Structure 1
């Protein structure tokens, strides 16, 4: 995997890619050095992004400026992920800018509402946040639920607000605000 770290209006963002597509993304909230170190842990090397990756970087920068961006056509490398996660992510990339769904709705689409917790686990394991828009998945009560990116649920709320979506406040203990 090759990686790059770049500035956006929300802060430092990181991408990792293979020949198959984007394999990792790191949301803003940490220093460039920390983002790079975290991406390098996965056996990566820093590289000059090819044209296709520069295109994805431009899309991320547009998103950070509040432009409605559709990442659904971005090639992804989901190698090594459980089949359930892949299926959940395939459904999730269809949820557009400014739209939301719930853990339960995704679970029903995957065959059984009792899979809601498994959907939550798949969202928490998402290694390509924003491009696989796990921030658009809410709890059934309209609250944000968890978010494993820097800043926790407050970052999720900020991303949704950027898209024009207002939801309830995060649960206590997840109030940090990273970007």
Structure 2
């Protein structure tokens, strides 16, 4: 997968959370990947993981530092707005549409795959929405954990830790204030 992401220079940053260390990767176009902190116990392990996938990375840049801070804030329970550029060129038109809608789901709320498909004007495309979620390289920033099965069940989560991580993320969002005093979700 990383070969697809190498559109020139790539940068990455690491962020610390109570559940482990995560990583965020960007290129000139914007963010390309978030590596969730679940199951990564230390900074060195995450650094080795990112260095193996991106051996020619140019260290950090302002975007990776900003995204890493936003993700650390998110994992500490603070409401944040992920108003950062994404490297969307590698997404299909359908994925861009799905990801755009999913980014609008408020913190702590969920939508079903079918609801997303219907909102796109493609009510029969629930499986396609599920496939887009499974390919989401930017979990949390594109909050695919907020998309659930038809009966509200927590179904497949491709992020580290699987469905248990999805459950944990939703619990985190529901236990924290929905908005801060600036209206940030």
TM-score, L = length of structure 2:
0.80
Superposed CA RMSD:
1.9
Q: Partner residue of 2:120?
A: 110
2:88 alignment counterpart: 78
Equivalent pair of 1:135/1:156 in contact (CA under 8 Å): yes
Q: Deviation at 1:149?
A: 1.1
Q: Which residue of 2 aligns with 1:94?
A: 104
Query: 1:46: how far off?
Result: 4.0
CA–CA distance in 2 between the matches of 1:43 and 1:68?
Answer: 30
Query: CA separation of 1:44/1:91 partners in 2, compared to 1, >3 Å: closer, same or farther?
Result: farther
Quote the offset at 1:4 in angstroms: 2.4
Q: Is the 8 A contact 1:4 1:46 kept in 2?
A: no
| Matched residues, number | 164
User: SS at the partner of 1:79?
Assistant: helix
In structure 1, stretches of 5+ residues that fail to align are 166-179
* Residue equivalent to 2:14: 5
* SS in structure 1 of the partner of residue 23 of structure 2: strand
Mean CA deviation greater in 48-57 or 37-46: 37-46
Unaligned runs of 5+ in 2: 1-9, 176-185
- CA separation in 2, counterparts of 1:66 and 1:36? 24
Q: Give the alignment partner of residue 61 of structure 2, picking from 40, 50, 57.
A: 50
